[in-house]
Amino acid sequence: MTSLSEIAEYNPLTISTIQRTKTFYFRPADGWKRGMNGDYRALEDLLIERVNSELQKYEGVKVVRSTSRYFEYYIESSTVNENSSFSVDNTDILRNAVGLLCNIAEEMGLTISTMSDLE
């Protein structure tokens, strides 16, 4: 599996998929294990807390956890014009946010994927 940093830095398709859908997924690098739901929820809470703390430098950008699945997240930005999904500003903000997410998640033993990778 490709590392998070490599995906963020070298895989524009993943970046553009996340940019288009603003949705991304993490999973434990060593795979899901039975009986670990409480641990996964605690890991999610810690991930979101750390990421949003770091994202404060990008005004109006935050990560929101999905209520329907473990490790499904959305990037929300109040400063990015939704109609300019291919603008330089949008791409740079997203790339920076995803890079930050990747670094923190990698430290926590998680790997990143998009929905198409999971199917």
Asked whether 97 and 8 are in contact (CB, 8 A), the reply is: no
* Residue 60 CB partners (closer than 8 Å, separation 6+): 77, 78, 79, 80
Q: How confident is the model at residue 85 (pLDDT cuts 50, 70, 90)?
A: very low
User: pLDDT tens for residues 14-49?
Assistant: 555 555 566 666 666 676 677 776 777 787 788 888
What pTM was computed for the model?
A: 0.57
Residue 84 is part of which domain span?
Answer: 4-118
Q: What CA–CA distance (Å, rounded) separates 25 from 101?
A: 11
**19: CATH:** 3.30.70
> For the chain, how many structural domains are there in total?
1
Mean pLDDT throughout 110-117?
62
How many Cα atoms are found within 13 Å in the side-chain-facing hemisphere of 85?
Answer: 11
